[in-house]
Amino acid sequence: QSVLTQPPSVSGAPGQRVTISCTGSRFNIGAAYDVHWYQQLPGAAPKLLIYGNSNRPSGVPDRFSGSKSGTSASLAITGLQAEDDADYYCQSYDSRLRGVVFGGGTKLTVL
């Protein structure tokens, strides 16, 4: 069981908006540690999508956005496209475990 909880799957039609939640605790997200998001396409290595809760690296479309509140964070994807079909992971740091923690991952299916 992952320290950060994500829904196993979400889906949406092309053009729609979806959100993926990442729920932690007072030892990680709630302790003001940053949350980062990664996209993993089938057969590929993960790619940094959002860093520092809400910042996009160069080259990431503004269709992707991140937010954080309390002990949770969210990734929103607007204007869904077929190429967004992938696994998404959140990441933070846990002060009780004294290490980096990942969410269990969410499979996004573009219908």
Partner 1 sequence: EVQLLESGGGLVQPGGSLRLSCAASGFTFSTYALSWVRQAPGKGLDWVSVISGSGGSTNYADSVKGRFTISRDNSKNMLYLQVKSLRAEDAALYYCVKGFCGGDCPSDDAFDIWGQGTMVAVSS
Chain residues that interact with partner 1, rule: CB under 8 A: 2, 33-34, 36, 38, 45-48, 51-52, 57, 89, 91-93, 97-105
User: Which of residues 17 and 48 has its CB atom nearest to partner 1 in the complex?
Assistant: 48
Candidates 103, 109, 108, 47; CA nearest to 71 is 103
User: Which of residues 12 and 87 has its CB atom nearest to partner 1 in the complex?
Assistant: 87
Q: State the nearest-atom distance from the C-beta of 97 to partner 1, in Å.
A: 7
Q: What is the helix, strand, coil percentage profile of the chain, to 5? A: 5, 50, 45
Q: State the nearest-atom distance from the C-beta of 53 to partner 1, in Å.
A: 10
User: Which of residues 23 and 89 has its CB atom nearest to partner 1 in the complex?
Assistant: 89
Contact 9, 107 (CB under 8 A): yes
Q: State the nearest-atom distance from the C-beta of 93 to partner 1, in Å.
A: 4
Q: Is 50 helix (H, G, I), strand (E, B) or coil?
A: strand
Contact 88, 38 (CB under 8 A): yes
